[in-house]
A and B are shown apart, each in its own frame.
Chain A
């Protein structure tokens, strides 16, 4: 949606500023007690922040499916796992250098997405959700079964033979942090491209009213497939970063549990908002980590069982938070913030309504053309 030239530049400048700040963070000595385990140059904090960015990228990729195209997928972990396990297996069996292996893993994720997407998108709604679940389950079973290749239940550890030294080991957490930053920026750019493109608009229009889109001679199937594959590629990138960051991966990476976790992140952050997905991924990861630390603390240990047990399970608290958000703040963090801003803007001069109307008209034209 177009806006006046002033407001087009502001988000871009803000975005670049954020990325720059994040990039130089490892060189600074910033401490946020209670949130970060240590100052920002320490490996522990950098590892946590990297994980936040990996999950932010994953949340962004899922938001493409749910927010942009209205596709409720229960099998998104498949793409994430395809990246993580894909890279691991390629490194292990093909013995090639890192970067070509990354490329192969991404291509693998893309091919899997094209095949599963082409099949799944033949149905919609609940059946679509179930087919995606089925594919992810099949992958989960394959991973657990073929222990020689995937390490089975124990997981796959990163074959470091061909990984550059700069990306291995705690000492180099900084470099992995920057790699994760690159991944989340790429995921964001992919999401941005999808949202702004004609295909993204067609998919979004199809989300509202599929019949109208078809009557206009556009193909919702193709648009949705492109969004599906783009989301999968972004998720595979996140998976690759995950493998490198954690020096390994487990079957959890292809499980329905993970897809549900991603869903929680995106809803918490606000479905349909790119920055919401990022916030959701970061907040969830930080909360999970912090609550786990809190759970082990003496303060909690001293409480009576009735309080101690729920409070020592971070996922319980996150689940309850999720329920509260769904029931009372369905827009999530970004949606609620956006609604507040809109209400404030509406009270100002009617000029903004004209702009809003014009913006809507332009968006309509995009779909019509």
Chain B
């Protein structure tokens, strides 16, 4: 299987402060690759660096093409979907407007979105700022699924959500993963185990371990050392 995304020697800075020291990993063109690590190690920054939202150096390839020097909107147009931490829906816009903004292709996959997120279809005219956390997460995911993306970067989609909603989000991601490869940053290890075949572990801005998710999470010592939690817990902050 070829890789859809190849990251080599990625370094990144926020306001002059280096937040990613040296990250390298590959994302296969099918399935879910998880990025794991404690709080503050640079997982979110890695995704933001790939999206070009923060200063970065290093090599990032999408398929055959290098995207590390492009402006963010060009990277997105090349087929990189982004579901940020904290959702970042536009609170002052309605659900419909949020989704309309995201439509890039000539034939957006509205039926897929309607099927995956029936709750949203009923709330099209509602201001996104008044939605619950879970509903906002659905909007954020829907935005990325409307277009035929080549890879999705998803950052802590279950953060702060109730268990039932976490389940819904995980199910939606499972469905999505059937059509597009996903890079998933997630603290909830149960969700990680359910969705991701392989994982990349980051500590202090560097990759310290890669391997099959099951292998990592089944090794209690490894899990505790790298992630600072017990494998049975891991419901994230």
A208 at the interface (CB under 8 A from B): yes
Kindly state the separation between the CA atoms of A263 and B60 in the bound complex, as whole angstroms.
Answer: 42
Kindly state the separation between the CA atoms of A209 and B14 in the bound complex, as whole angstroms.
Answer: 12
B132 at the interface (CB under 8 A from A): no
List the A side residues contacting B233 at CB < 8 Å: none
Inter-chain residue pair count (beta carbon < 8 A): 4
8 Å CB interface, B17-45 against A: 17
Number of residues on chain B facing chain A (CB within 8 A): 3
Kindly state the separation between the CA atoms of A208 and B16 in the bound complex, as whole angstroms.
Answer: 9
With both beta carbons as reference points, the residue of chain A lying nearest to B15 in the complex is identified as A209
Kindly state the separation between the CA atoms of A208 and B17 in the bound complex, as whole angstroms.
Answer: 11
Provide the A218-261 mask, 1 if CB < 8 A to any CB of B, else 0.
00000000000000000000000000000000000000000000
List the B side residues contacting A209 at CB < 8 Å: 15-17
With both beta carbons as reference points, the residue of chain A lying nearest to B16 in the complex is identified as A208
8 Å CB interface, A180-214 against B: 208-209
With both beta carbons as reference points, the residue of chain B lying nearest to A209 in the complex is identified as B15
With both beta carbons as reference points, the residue of chain B lying nearest to A212 in the complex is identified as B17
Q: How far is the CB of A215 from chain B (nearest CB, A)?
A: 13
List the B side residues contacting A208 at CB < 8 Å: 16
List the A side residues contacting B15 at CB < 8 Å: 209
Q: How far is the CB of A204 from chain B (nearest CB, A)?
A: 14
Kindly state the separation between the CA atoms of A208 and B15 in the bound complex, as whole angstroms.
Answer: 9
Kindly state the separation between the CA atoms of A213 and B16 in the bound complex, as whole angstroms.
Answer: 15
Q: How far is the CB of B14 from chain A (nearest CB, A)?
A: 11
Q: How far is the CB of A216 from chain B (nearest CB, A)?
A: 15
Kindly state the separation between the CA atoms of A231 and B15 in the bound complex, as whole angstroms.
Answer: 28
With both beta carbons as reference points, the residue of chain B lying nearest to A208 in the complex is identified as B16
Kindly state the separation between the CA atoms of A365 and B15 in the bound complex, as whole angstroms.
Answer: 21
Kindly state the separation between the CA atoms of A181 and B209 in the bound complex, as whole angstroms.
Answer: 67
Provide the B1-18 mask, 1 if CB < 8 A to any CB of A, else 0.
000000000000001110
Q: How far is the CB of A312 from chain B (nearest CB, A)?
A: 43
Kindly state the separation between the CA atoms of A209 and B16 in the bound complex, as whole angstroms.
Answer: 10
Q: How far is the CB of A211 from chain B (nearest CB, A)?
A: 10
Q: How far is the CB of A206 from chain B (nearest CB, A)?
A: 14
Kindly state the separation between the CA atoms of A177 and B16 in the bound complex, as whole angstroms.
Answer: 45
Q: How far is the CB of B157 from chain A (nearest CB, A)?
A: 29
8 Å CB interface, A124-160 against B: none
Q: How far is the CB of B229 from chain A (nearest CB, A)?
A: 27
Provide the B196-222 mask, 1 if CB < 8 A to any CB of A, else 0.
000000000000000000000000000
Q: How far is the CB of A209 from chain B (nearest CB, A)?
A: 7
List the A side residues contacting B16 at CB < 8 Å: 208-209
Q: How far is the CB of A124 from chain B (nearest CB, A)?
A: 15
Q: How far is the CB of A313 from chain B (nearest CB, A)?
A: 39
List the A side residues contacting B17 at CB < 8 Å: 209
Q: How far is the CB of B62 from chain A (nearest CB, A)?
A: 33
Can you list 4 A-B pairs, Cβ within 8 angstroms, ordered by A? Answer: A208-B16, A209-B15, A209-B16, A209-B17
4 nearest interchain CB pairs? A208-B16, A209-B15, A209-B16, A209-B17
